[in-house]
Each structure stands twice: as C-alpha cells, then as structure tokens.
Amino acid sequence: VYDTLADWETGYTTAFLAQNGYTVRTVGPEREPVTTMGGLRIQPDLALAELRPEDSALLVLPGAGLWDAGDDLAPFARTARAFLDAEVPVAAICGATAGLAREGLLDDRAHTSAVSF
C-alpha cells in the first residue's frame, strides 16, 4: 500500500485470497499510514524492507497516481524483481504495470498491460 493507491483495484482479489486460507498483509514504504485515492487511511502491517519473498505466496501491486509521478514507488518494482527471481508470482494492476515496465520486468515476459511501441 502506498499514497494515491487505487483502493478499488484489489477488492475482489483480497477477498478471494482471505476466504481461501491466505493471510493478506499490507506492505507500505514504511509502517506509517498511507492515504489512498479514495481518502482511506491504511496502516501497513509491514514496511517494504521487511517483506521477504520466501514468506509470501503472491505480491499484488495496485495502481496509484505515484507510479507515473516520479520514482517514489520504484522500490516496489525492485521488490517485484526479487519476488520473480524467487519464483513467487507478482500481480501488477493498472499503473503498477508501468512501474514494472520501467524496471525492465515486462521486456521478455507475457503481460496484458498496454501496448508497447
């Protein structure tokens, strides 16, 4: 979770995972609260530096205004690389796919993001 998170994008996914035996944990840049696009304040369970692929089944990166507003979310894209290197699936939604593309993670990987030119 991060500031400007598109809070509507993860609802079905997190509900499905939670109802099927997975523990959903929120991860922020730090443990300080973040504010979503919808104005919700979320207190992350973990800081990004505490997240470990070997303790995870999936990384979900929702869209956010910050994905295209600078490098604030680049650490999340770098974390996605570590997850993929550890063969842990990564799901990027909307603007998060742009962050993965900038990290070079979509160059040789099939994806359903926007057309590249």
- Over the stretch 28-87, which tens digit does the pLDDT of each residue have? 999 999 999 999 999 999 999 999 999 999 999 999 999 989 899 999 999 999 999 999
Fold of 11-102: Rossmann fold (3.40.50)
Main-chain dihedrals φ then ψ at residue 79, nearest 5 degrees: -65, -40
In this structure, the number of other CB atoms found within 10 A of the CB of residue 97 comes to: 20
Distance of CA 87 to the CA centre of its chain: 16
Q: Which residues are catalytic?
A: 94
Domain range list for the chain: 11-102
| Whether the predicted pLDDT of 117 surpasses 60 | no
Helices (H), 20-73: none
Please give the model's pTM, rounded to 2 decimal places: 0.90
Three-class SS of residue 77? helix
| Whether the predicted pLDDT of 116 surpasses 70 | no
Q: How far is CA 109 from CA 63, 79, 100, 106, 114, in A?
A: 19, 17, 11, 5, 13
Confidence of residue 115 (pLDDT cuts 50, 70, 90): low
Confidence of residue 113 (pLDDT cuts 50, 70, 90): confident
β strands within 58-99, DSSP E: 59-61, 90-92
